[in-house]
């Protein structure tokens, strides 16, 4: 991950804070805000933030548009990629097939932490031509990795450890080649295995969405996938709630939503 990529991901996170909290930053930063000085300068240089009353930085209309585009991708990733985050390759089963068995969130997360589950999100992202680092960054947002613990979010979003961890996850994740095997009929390629798993996961996800649509839970903010949920942005930027029909094209393992075809940076 280049320094430019780290800055732009940190930048979109800062934009989210500015718009959703909402919050502004003085031109002369102090305290923890000093950690994001370079990020704010990058945002200002791209016209994503503007200076108001010669006193503080605030999100610009262009910045709001950038955030809206990013969260379009973020919402799609949470709704369609999390299903591949816990797959038992030996049994060919998905953890999310069992999600309705768990009323307690802690027990659900314990279940996800079992050793039999492999995370195939990086492999699926690469197969579909998506940037796996962006997918993992989104999962970090969903999990609150930048705003939990003892660190202030300004420190966390600029901490090299988080970016190094994203790189490590991507570099050590199961790849397509790792999925290849040989049976009585001969070798089975990783591409064949992954296509089947992607379709299988999409079918399970579609069934979960149908159940959710038939019997919605008003207290369920994560869309039934155990992820971070729809991330609502105030004012102009709102992440969509998808109808069941949205998930049907994903039965084709090669399908990607149009939101991924367009760049989110302007």
pLDDT in tens, the chain (266 residues): 899 999 999 999 999 999 998 999 999 999 999 999 999 999 999 999 999 999 999 999 999 999 999 999 999 999 999 999 999 999 999 999 999 999 999 999 999 999 999 999 999 999 999 999 999 999 999 888 898 555 689 999 999 999 999 999 999 999 999 999 998 889 999 999 999 999 999 999 999 999 988 876 555 444 434 443 343 333 444 456 799 999 999 999 999 999 999 889 98
pLDDT at 28: 94
The pLDDT of residue 230 is 41
* pLDDT value of residue 241: 78
The reported pLDDT for the residue numbered 21 is: 87
Residue-level pLDDT at 82: 93
Amino acid 185: pLDDT? 86
On whether the CB atoms of residues 226 and 108 are closer than 8 A, the answer is yes
CA distance 92 to 263: 34
Helical axes 3-20 vs 132-142, angle rounded to 10°: 30
In degrees to the nearest 10, what's the CA dihedral of 120, 124, 130, 133?
10
Q: What is the pLDDT of residue 229?
A: 38
pLDDT at 235: 42
Task: Look up the pTM and report it.
Answer: 0.86
What pLDDT is attached to residue 236?
Answer: 41
Among residues 108, 116, 106, 126, the alpha carbon closest in space to that of 86 is found at: 116
pLDDT in the model for residue 119: 95
């Amino acid at each position: 991950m280049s320094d430019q990529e780290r800055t732009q991901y940190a930048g979109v996170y800062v934009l989210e804070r500015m718009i959703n909290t909402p919050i502004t930053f003085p031109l002369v930063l102090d305290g923890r805000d000093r950690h994001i000085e370079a990020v704010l300068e990058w945002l200002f240089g791209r016209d994503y933030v503007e200076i108001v009353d010669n006193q503080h930085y605030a999100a610009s209309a262009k910045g709001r548009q950038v955030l809206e585009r990013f969260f379009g991708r973020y919402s799609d990733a949470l709704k369609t990629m999390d299903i591949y985050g816990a797959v038992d390759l030996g049994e060919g089963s998905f953890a999310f097939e069992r999600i309705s068995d768990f009323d307690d969130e802690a027990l659900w997360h314990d279940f996800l932490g079992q050793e039999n589950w492999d995370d195939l999100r990086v492999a699926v992202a690469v197969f579909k031509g998506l940037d796996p680092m962006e997918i993992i960054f989104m999962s970090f947002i969903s999990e609150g990795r930048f705003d939990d613990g003892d660190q202030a979010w300004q420190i966390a979003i600029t901490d090299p450890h988080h970016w190094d961890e994203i790189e490590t996850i991507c570099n050590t994740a199961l790849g397509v080649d790792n999925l290849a095997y040989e049976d009585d009929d001969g070798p089975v390629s990783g591409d064949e295995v992954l296509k089947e798993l992607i379709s299988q996961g999409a079918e399970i996800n579609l069934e979960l969405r149908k159940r959710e649509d038939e019997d919605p839970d008003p207290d369920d903010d994560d869309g039934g996938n155990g992820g971070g949920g729809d991330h609502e942005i105030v004012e102009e930027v709102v992440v969509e709630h998808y109808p069941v029909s949205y998930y049907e094209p994903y039965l084709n393992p090669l399908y990607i939503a149009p939101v991924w075809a367009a760049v989110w940076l302007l």
